[in-house]
Amino acid sequence: MKKCDDLLRREQHIDVAWNHHYEKAKRAYFTRLNGSIDTARLLLKQGLPFRGHDESKNSNNKGNFLEFYDCLVQHDIELNKAVTTNAAGNSCMLAPEIQRDIVECFANEVLHSILDELGNDVFCLLVDESRDVSCKEQMAVVLRYVDKYGIVKERFVGLVHVAETTSSHLKSSIDSLFAKFKLSLKQVRGQGYDGASNMRDTNCAFILLMYEKMVDSPT
């Protein structure tokens, strides 16, 4: 009879206790994640660096991200509880890898909004060299277009690493970027390369390709 009574008490079953613990841990996880996202949003909006020179627990200045996060923890009761009570050692959502993932998500959202605003309208392609600190060659790509309110906008859409700076390789890199963004060469109405001599052949190649597409088009 006692075992039968225990079986009828649903709230005491193992699966119920486990699901309760799981839901509690999941809520704490998302609370910590939202705290990291809010901190990253503030730093990105202000254009501030994330990392510090000494991010150890005993450091007086652990960097902007950790310092802002600690300040947020002190003023948010739910986040404070999720960090101090319900946080596992490997689930604090503060690692540099997590920070980079959050920044990449913000970058994708910004890029998506730029491409949505551009739509199928025409634009001007601006490309310039931007070598990083490790001396790796990069292309900085900017789109200039007019929005629906008639305002001219220039939007940075990304950096493209290039193995070499020959015109053929730069052209193939731009083609790959256009394919990734689902843009067409028919939308290009101007090009700017900051007077780079190795882009002259690329410019000619784009003009010929655009001409071929116009000839092949039934319109």
Report which of 218, 209, 167 is spatially closest to residue 188, judged by C-alpha positions. 209
Q: Give the per-residue pLDDT at 8.
A: 72
Higher pLDDT, 113 or 217: 113
Residue ranges covered by each domain of the chain:
2-104, 119-216
In sequence order, what are the beta bridge partners of 112? Answer: none
Helix-helix angle 14-46:96-118, to 10 degrees: 70
- Position 68 pLDDT exceeds 50: yes
CATH topology of domain 119-216: Nucleotidyltransferase; domain 5 (3.30.420)
Q: pLDDT tier at 15 (50, 70, 90 boundaries)?
A: confident
Which of 22-36, 38-52, 151-165, 205-219 bottoms out in mean pLDDT, i.e. has the lowest? 205-219
Higher pLDDT, 185 or 75: 75
Q: List, for residues 110-127, the tens digit of each pLDDT value.
A: 999 999 998 888 999 888
What is the reported pTM? 0.71
